Amino acid sequence: MSWGAARRLVESGKVSVDGRRELDPTVAVREGASIAVTMAAPKPRAESPVAGDDLVYLDGHVVVVKKPAGVSTVPYDEHEKGALSELVHALLKRRGGPVAELGIVHRIDKETSGLVLFARTLAAKRALKQQFRFHSVERRYVALAHGSVRAATHRSRLVKDRGDGRRGSTENPELGRDSVTHVKPLEALAGATLVECRLETGRTHQIRIHLAEAGHPLVGERVYGRSYRGERIEAPRLMLHAFELGFEHPTTGKPMHFEQPMPEDMERVVQGLRRGSR
C-alpha cells in the first residue's frame, strides 16, 4: 500500500491502535501495538470550532460567545454551513432540550474574531435591536493597521458600491449611511500601529474602510487599501478583534460588560512586530 493510500485510510477513521481510533497518520506506534483496520467504520465527525468554554455568558434571554476567525456570524446564503449562529444553536441544543432559533442583533466579519451577542427570545431581540439602533451598545476592537496611525474620528457615508464593486465612502449626502469610528493608537510597532477602534455606528466593514481610506489598511487586509504603497506586512488573516462588548440586559436592565483578550494568532503577529521595532 502506498503512503498516500495509508494516510487516507487513517484520516478516514478506519484504523485503530490498541483499541482506540487513530486519525494522525504520522503518529509513532509502539512496538507490539495492536493495529486493526475496520473498513466499515464511519468517518469521524468534524469538531466544531465553538466549544462550551466559548460561551462567555448565557441565560434565558441572551448569549455572548467568542467567535473564532474564519467563521461567519450568520450564513452568507442558504448553501453556507457552519456559521456561528448555527454552531451556538447546536451547542445549546446538546446541553439539553429544544432551543429556539437565535435572534441576530449584530454581526462581525468572518475574518474577525471576538465577542458576539445573540438574543434567545423575541422580546430580547427587539430590546437589543433598539440599543444597537440608538448606538448605546459599547463596542471596541483592537486592530493592527499599517503605518503610523494617529488618534482620529472618521466620519463618512458608506455605500455598498463606491463604483468598483466594493464598499466605501461617498461625498453624496443623499447616498449611503452615516458611519463613525473613533481610533486611538495603543502602540507603535515595526511598520504598523496597534490601535483601538470604538464604534459609534456599526456598518459593514466600517473599521476596515475607514482605516484604509485614511491610508492605514489593516494588516491582513485583502479587499480594501489596494492603493497602499508602503511595505505590506504578512498575516494569517485580518488583524481585527472585537475585544469589548457592553449593553443593557434586555429584561433586567442590568449593565452587562465583557472583554476578551487578543487571540493567539494575532498576539504572535504583534510580538513579531514588537521585536522588529527594537
Task: Give all strands (DSSP E) within the chain, no chain letters.
Answer: 15-17, 20-21, 35-37, 55-58, 62-67, 103-104, 113-119, 138-146, 152-159, 168-170, 177-189, 192-199, 240-248, 255-259
- Going by C-alpha positions, the residue among 128, 50, 115 that lies closest to residue 83 is 50
Report residue 218 as a C-alpha cell: 489593516
> CB-based contacts of 263: which residues, under 8 Å, 6+ apart?
68, 69, 113, 241
Beta strands 15-17 and 35-37 are antiparallel
CA distance 210 to 216: 9
> CB-based contacts of 237: which residues, under 8 Å, 6+ apart?
69, 70, 111, 220, 265
CA distance 117 to 250: 12
Strand, coil or helix: 13: coil
Is residue 109 among the annotated active site residues?
yes
Which of 18, 24, 77, 109 is catalytic? The answer is 109
Report residue 151 as a C-alpha cell: 488618534
Q: Which residues have a catalytic role annotated?
A: 109
